[in-house]
């Protein structure tokens, strides 16, 4: 079984075409703090402005998931790499590093 197939099987609730149909190369994976604007009263009460995510980067796709306690991942979002521009943002006062937009 290839790395791409193994990753595909570990993601619950996948939506869309099979990763191996769109991508031929797995590049990297890792944890990510995803910062976002507070949209709901529930988030305002909790004061939460970020989510812990686990991402998989392929040659044509970035897959965003949430790691589950079972060791598998819950599908959250996918971004086609050719449809986006990535800008490296400078580190701030030491709290946030390696940020991109």
Q: Domain locations in the chain?
A: 3-100
Specify the pTM: 0.74
CB distance 16 to 79 below 8 Å: no
Position with higher pLDDT, 75 vs 85: 75
What is the C-alpha to C-alpha distance for residues 40 and 10, in angstroms, rounded to an integer? 30
Output the average pLDDT for the chain.
81
Q: Which two tokens stand for residue 24?
A: 């031929």
Give the CATH number of domain 3-100.
2.30.29.30
- Predicted pLDDT at 36: 65
Q: Which value, to the nearest 10 degrees, does the dihedral of the CA atoms of residues 21, 24, 86, 11 take?
A: 60
What is the C-alpha to C-alpha distance for residues 6 and 66, in angstroms, rounded to an integer? 17
- Predicted pLDDT at 86: 65
Does residue 42 carry a pLDDT above 80?
no
Does residue 37 carry a pLDDT above 70?
no
- Predicted pLDDT at 96: 62
- Predicted pLDDT at 93: 67
Q: Exposed/middle/buried for 74, CB within 10 Å: 0-12, 13-18, 19+?
A: middle
């Amino acid at each position: 079984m290839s790395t791409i197939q193994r990753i595909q099987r570990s993601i619950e609730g996948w939506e869309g075409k099979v990763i191996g149909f769109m991508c031929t190369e797995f590049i990297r994976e890792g944890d990510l703090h995803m910062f976002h604007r507070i949209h709901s009263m529930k988030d305002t009460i909790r004061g939460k402005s970020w989510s812990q995510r686990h991402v998989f980067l392929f040659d044509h796709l970035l897959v965003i998931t949430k790691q589950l306690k079972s060791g598998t991942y819950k599908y959250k979002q996918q971004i086609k790499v050719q449809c986006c521009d990535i800008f490296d943002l400078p580190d701030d006062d030491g709290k946030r590093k390696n940020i991109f937009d």
